[in-house]
Amino acid sequence: MDYKEEFIRIFNEQVTRPGADRLLNWLEKTDFFTAPASTRFHCACQQGLVRHSLSVYQVLMEKHFVEGEDNPESFAICGLLHDLCKAQFYKVSTRNVKNEQTGQWEKVPFYQVEDVFPYGHGEKSVFLIERFMRLKTAEAMAIRWHMGGFDESVKGGSFAMSGAFRAYPLAVKMHLADLESTYIRERDTSDVPNEHR
């Protein structure tokens, strides 16, 4: 599958609000379509970020979309753009790892975080999206809190996420889609050798 082509197709079909075209143009100028989705876990590979974004969108639509109740544009925005914060976020290089089967040293991808705009995770994605187009409150909440209990503010003791989950079902759906995508559908999608996970 051509992940970039599929992302752009869905985005253009589903996201029609003012500023969407400018956001897509900006994405094209970043590494969004080539970047990994993590340093060594799920989709730690070329095009991992766009692959993960598509996967989350697919889970949202397959498992959580209710015809006549949910907005397809909101689901596309949340699924496709929730990890926008990871554009221009990773530094890609290689390191030597010994292949245990052959005994030979091989160059493998190595990803490091190089966050030049340390604004958080979900909140950074919301900020970046809103530079180009307005989000509905439910969309902003869903993107902001998609990490659930892994979010730094939650780990620090904040109860704001539970308030968002109670008030905005889309936020709960978004978190569940991200979890399933990351831990089930994207298992073994990393280029980083198993011994380094």
Q: Is residue 73 a part of any domain in this protein? A: yes
Q: Is residue 107 a part of any domain in this protein? A: no
Is 67 or 40 the better-scoring residue by pLDDT? 67
User: Per the structure, how many domains does the chain have?
Assistant: 1
- Residue range 174-187, pLDDT digits in tens: 999 999 998 999 88
Q: Is residue 192 a part of any domain in this protein? A: no
Q: Is residue 113 a part of any domain in this protein? A: no
Q: Is residue 95 a part of any domain in this protein? A: no
Look up the domain containing 56 and give its range.
Answer: 3-84+121-185
- Can you point out the beta strands (E) in the chain? 90-98, 105-113
Classify each residue of 58-90 as buried b or exposed e, where b means 16 or more C-beta atoms within 10 Å of its C-beta. bbbbeebeeeeebeebbbbbbbbbbbbbbbbbb
pLDDT at 196: 41
The residue-averaged pLDDT of 22-45 equals 85
- Residue range 159-170, pLDDT digits in tens: 888 899 999 999
Q: Is residue 96 a part of any domain in this protein? A: no
- pTM value? 0.85
Q: Is residue 69 a part of any domain in this protein? A: yes
CA distance 41 to 20: 30
pLDDT at 85: 86
Which SS3 state, helix, strand or coil, does residue 86 take?
A: helix
Residue 195 has pLDDT above 50, yes or no: no
Q: Which of 133, 28, 12, 24 is nearest to 76 (CA)?
A: 12
- Which two structure tokens, joined as six digits, stand for 12? 């253009």
